[in-house]
Amino acid sequence: MINAKGIVLCEADKESKQASVYVTHYLQPQVAQREQSRMLLAGSAAQQVMTSGEMLLTHVGPNEEPEDHERSLFQESWRDQSKTLTILPLGFTLKRWGVLKLVQCQFNSFTAANLRVLQQIAERIAIAVDNALACQQIKSLKEKLLYILLEQEFERVGGNRLIPVDVRLIAATNRDLRQKVADRTFRAPWGLACQRISAHL
């Protein structure tokens, strides 16, 4: 059994040595969620994991006090027991979105199989976060891109004249667009000619 307590998504600020915590989601319903808070990152175990990209296992002995950031993760009934804190990086390649923190007491020690599963979970969470952020960026750019497609011109940042462009957009889908149009679930943006080419693979 893996006792997952929280998922923290944060962005480090190198100048202030703090992190903007977007969401701290605790899996226990009795613990309140935190959003848009600040935490000191410098010198913490979370910073070490985010910098190195390597998993960290920390042993906390009986009656020892963990770091302030991790104190809320440990149950009071575990005070006289040996505890393990595992911090995994949420990220892939050079991107680091945050960390995944898990704690166990001595009766539920992490095994090698547990750690492999946790690494896979952390990788999948990181990919999901990356995809969500990419969708947000695409959504914010959609209106600007649509203007360029319609008007065939744009203005450079800091410039004062329009630059003509010849833009074509090619997209692929495995959906039946004719049926989507008939169902009114797909509509080409106003003013754009949508030419459909079927390809059987």
Higher local confidence (pLDDT), 200 or 20 = 200
Q: Which domain holds residue 72?
A: 4-135
Percent of the chain past pLDDT 90, that is, above it, reads 0
pTM: 0.47
Residue 98 lies in a domain: yes
Q: What does the pLDDT read at residue 121?
A: 74
Checking if the pLDDT of 19 tops 50, the result is: no
Residue 163 lies in a domain: no
DSSP 32: P
Q: Per residue in 123-156, pLDDT tens?
A: 777 777 777 767 777 777 777 777 777 788 888 7
Question: Residue 77's domain is classified under what CATH number?
Answer: 3.30.450.40
pLDDT band at 167 (very low <50, low <70, confident <90, very high): confident
Measured at the CA of 41, the angle between CA 40 and CA 47, to 5 degrees, comes to 165
Residue 201 lies in a domain: no
Checking if the pLDDT of 83 tops 60, the result is: yes
User: Strand (E) positions, 42-194?
Assistant: 56-60, 83-92, 95-105, 153-155, 162-164
Checking if the pLDDT of 22 tops 50, the result is: no
The number of domains in the chain is 1
Mean pLDDT of the chain, nearest integer: 68
Q: What does the pLDDT read at residue 152?
A: 83
**35, 39, 45, 49 alpha-carbon torsion, rounded to 10°:** 60
